[in-house]
Structures are given as C-alpha cells and as structure tokens.
Amino acid sequence: MEILNLDFTLVLHRKLLIFKLVRLGCYNTNHFFRVDRGFVAQVADVASGRSAPMNEEQRKEAEKTIVGEFSDVKHVRGILSMGRYSDPDSAQSSFSILLGDAPHLDGQYAIFGKVTKGDETLRKLEELPTHREGIFVMPVERITILSSYYYDTELESCKQERGILKQRLAASAVEIELQRMKCFP
C-alpha cells in the first residue's frame, strides 16, 4: 500500500469540491492516466476514469466545474494542480501531482495543495514503464487508486469523522473485493 499525505491549505473553492469528491468516494477505482517522469502524474476525471459506477450524488458533484483561481504559488515538485481544458474555468476533478518544477504552468493552472508525505511514492510512479499516446506519456498498465480519504487534523473531536471513515472504509472494502473478484478470478 502506497500513501500520499496532502496539505490543502492553499485554496478555498477547489478544496471544497475535491474534499467532497474524496468524502463521496469518487476517486476510489479512479486511476493515474498520465505519468510523465520529471513533469506530472495526472489523475483522470472521476466521471470517466473510475472502473466502478457512480451513484446520483457522485455524478452530480463530478459534473461541477471550478472557476480558475490562480495564485503566486509556484508549480514545483509535490504541488497539486487542477487539470482543465483550454478554458481556464473548465476544471472539474482531474488533477496533477507535479513530479518536477514546471514554471510554464505558473499562473495558468489552479493549485490546491501539496504532498507533505510520500515522495517515495512519487519516485515509484516515475519508475513505471510508460508509452507515448499523442501528447501524453501514459503508464503501460493502469495505476488504480483503490481508496482515498480525508481527515481534518484541526478538529477538536474526531468521533463523528471516525464513524464516517469507518463506514467509508467498509464500503471501500466491498468495492475493492468486487474489483479483485472481477480482475483476479
């Protein structure tokens, strides 16, 4: 099991949508569709990147877009930055983790967090075999996100959060087992 700890104190609106998507389990069974050594590891949009179906609430949140909120924070290794189309206000749920410095992205893509633990995981991503498809460098094999979760280190009492986390972990275990049975009969 590989773990990345992330700090989301850099934003407001982007953070709120990403947190909600994580809490709803939208990134579970999603994947990294792009791994470009020294540049980015990019997570697919949850609406199209998951292998498990989404419920109505997940679909509703996944369809939301985020207005481009750009900052003076630099795109350096470990930064989390929203993916988007050419329209700066088209970000949804795809995001990149920077694997190196990318000053050409500064002021162009909305930053919403940074990796605080797990650089060894980023190094392992960079070591994976890849191939080029058009403009993207993609992993040869699918890199699935089995489970994602959010916890607030600033809460005084985590009792309610622990209960929610236990429910989500139980649901994730069922989802993971279904995927395992499907892929490894």
Rounded Cα gap, residues 51 and 39, in angstroms: 26
Rounded Cα gap, residues 116 and 138, in angstroms: 25
pTM: 0.77
- pLDDT tens-digit readout, 20-44: 898 899 999 899 999 999 999 999 9
- CA 176 vs CA 22, 59, 83, 90, 150: distances in Å: 16, 20, 26, 31, 18
Rounded Cα gap, residues 139 and 131, in angstroms: 6
Report phi then psi at 33, rounded to 5: -90, -15
* Token pair recorded at residue 19: 């947190």
- CA 27 vs CA 32, 63, 135, 178: distances in Å: 10, 14, 24, 16
Q: SS3 of 76, please?
A: coil
Question: How would residue 11 be classed by pLDDT, with cut points 50, 70 and 90?
Answer: low
Rounded Cα gap, residues 112 and 130, in angstroms: 27
The average pLDDT across 172-179 equals: 76
> Is 5-145 assigned to CATH 1.10.3260.10?
no
- CA 174 vs CA 17, 56, 67, 143: distances in Å: 25, 19, 35, 19
H-type alpha helices, the chain: 13-23, 46-49, 56-62, 119-127, 159-183
Check residue 61 and report its DSSP letter.
Answer: H
- pLDDT tens-digit readout, 89-141: 898 999 999 999 999 999 999 888 888 888 888 999 999 999 999 999 999 99
- pLDDT tens-digit readout, 42-98: 999 999 998 888 999 999 999 998 888 888 889 999 998 989 999 988 989 999 999
